[in-house]
A and B are shown apart, each in its own frame.
Chain A
Amino acid sequence: MPKDELKAEFRLVGTRPNRPDGLDKVTGRARYGADATLPGMLWGAVVRSPHAHAKIVKIDASKALALDGVKAVVTRADLPTGLTGEDWNLQENTLAGEKALYDGHAVAAVAATSRLLAEEAARLVEVTYEVLPHVIDVDDAIRPDAPVIREGAADASVPPGMPPNVVRYLDFGRGDIDAGFAAADLVREQTYKTEATHQGYIEPHACVGQLGADGKGEMWVCTQGQWYIRKMCSAVLGLEAAQLRVTPSEIGGGFGGKTTIFMEPLSLALSRKAGGRPVKIVMSRSEVLRATGPTASASMDVKIGMKKDGTITAGRAEFRMQGGAFPGSPVAEGLYCAFAPYAIPALQHIGYDVLANRPKCAAYRAPGSPMGAFAVESLIDEMCRELGLDPMAVRLKNAVREGDTASYGATFGSIGLIETLEATAAHPNLAVPLGPNQGRGIASGFWFNHAGETSVTLAIGEDGTATVSVGTPDIGGSRASIALMTAETLGIRYEDVRVNIVETGALGVNEPTHGSRATFASGKAAVIAAEAAIREMCNRAAAEWGIEPEAVEWVQGAAQPAGPNAGKFPPMSIAEIASKMGGTGGPISGHHESVPDGFGASFGAHVVDVEVDPETGRTTVLRYLVVQDAGRAIHPAYVEGQYQGGAAQGIGWALNEEYIYGKDGRLQNTVFLDYRIPVASDLPPIDTVIVEVPNPGHPYGVRGVGETGITPPLPAIANAIHAATGVRLRHLPMTPPKILAAMKTKG
Chain B
Amino acid sequence: MSRIHVTTTVNGDTVEFLADPRETLLDCLRDHVGLTGSKEGCGTGDCGACSVRLDGTLVCSCLVLGVEAQGRTVETIEGMATGGELHPLQRKFIEHAALQCGFCTPGILVAAKALLEKNANPTDTEIRYWLAGNLCRCTGYDKIIRAVQDAAAEMRGAA
Contacts and interface: CB of A to CB of B under 8 A. Distances in A.
Q: Secondary structure at chain B's binding surface: helix, strand, loop or mixed?
A: loop
B142 interface: yes
Interface residues of B, number: 62
B46 interface: yes
Contacts of A23: 86, 94
14 contacts: A18-B94, A26-B94, A27-B81, A28-B76, A29-B78, A114-B20, A255-B137, A285-B43, A641-B139, A644-B142, A648-B140, A677-B137, A680-B132, A686-B140
Of A28, A199, A253, A677, chain B has the most CB atoms within 10 Å of the CB of A28
B46 A680 contact: no
Interface in B109-147: 109, 124-125, 127-129, 131-145
Given A23-B94, A28-B77, A252-B39, A476 B101 contact: yes
Given A27-B78, A115-B27, A253-B101, A671 B46 contact: yes
Interface of B: 1, 20, 22-23, 27, 30-31, 35-44, 46-47, 49, 76-78, 80-81, 86, 90-91, 93-97, 99-106, 109, 124-125, 127-129, 131-145
Contacts of A84: none
A202 interface: yes
A203 B103 contact: yes
Contact of B97 (A251, A475, A637): A637
Given A254-B101, A645-B140, 14 more contacts: A26-B106, A29-B78, A35-B30, A116-B1, A202-B136, A252-B101, A285-B43, A637-B143, A645-B137, A649-B137, A672-B41, A673-B44, A683-B142, A685-B124
Nearest to B78: A28
Given A26-B105, A252-B39, A252-B101, A285 B90 contact: no
A93 to B, nearest CB: 23
B100 A645 contact: yes
Contacts of A682: 132
Contact of A116 (B20, B35, B103, B109): B20
Contacts of B38: 28
A445 interface: no
A34 B99 CA distance: 19
Contacts of B22: 116
Contacts of B90: 26-27
A326 interface: no
A641 B94 contact: no
Given A115-B27, A202-B47, A672-B44, A26 B36 contact: no
A645 B91 CA distance: 21
A31 B78 contact: no
Interface in A640-658: 640-641, 644-645, 647-649
B36 A34 contact: yes
Nearest to B93: A26
Contacts of B143: 637, 640-641, 644
